[in-house]
Amino acid sequence: MISHLISILKTPSGKTGKGAYFEKKAMQFLARQGMKNFSCNYHCRFGEIDLVAHDGDVLVFIEVRYREKFNYGSALASVTVTKQKKIRQTAKHFLQKHGLGNKMPCRFDVIGITRYDGKLNYQWIKNAF
């Protein structure tokens, strides 16, 4: 119980602060798994991609979701078809803007983060959609 309270105190408040905090945690987790060259919060008129990274020769677009409570479903389940479409459109924009077009294999991953007994738990779905 005490460790849970301490972890809550260390977590920034507000949607933007929490989002950045958990994106950083996801980036650290993925770096430990061997992913490299991270870019954060790519924005365009279609939407936002939380993280972009390289997994070997593959460019990976990553959606990070955190859930503290499961009243509205799991973190992973919160990536709706509509959200997936926005991420795909934003990824196309990213590729065009950086002159990559169809030159690089890509995939879409989702990282779901939950907290249990004061510890963060990660669910990583590669090639999620």
- pLDDT value at position 72? 61
Taking the model in full, what pTM does it have?
A: 0.82
Based on the number of CB atoms within 10 Å of its own CB, is 40 exposed (0-12), middle (13-18) or buried (19 or more)? middle
- Domains held by the chain: number: 1
Full domain range(s) for residue 112: 2-125
**Residue labelled with tokens 């690089």:** 104
pLDDT digits (tens, 9 = 90+) for 16-72: 578 899 999 999 999 999 999 999 999 999 999 999 999 999 999 999 998 776 556
- CATH number of the domain where residue 16 is located: 3.40.1350.10
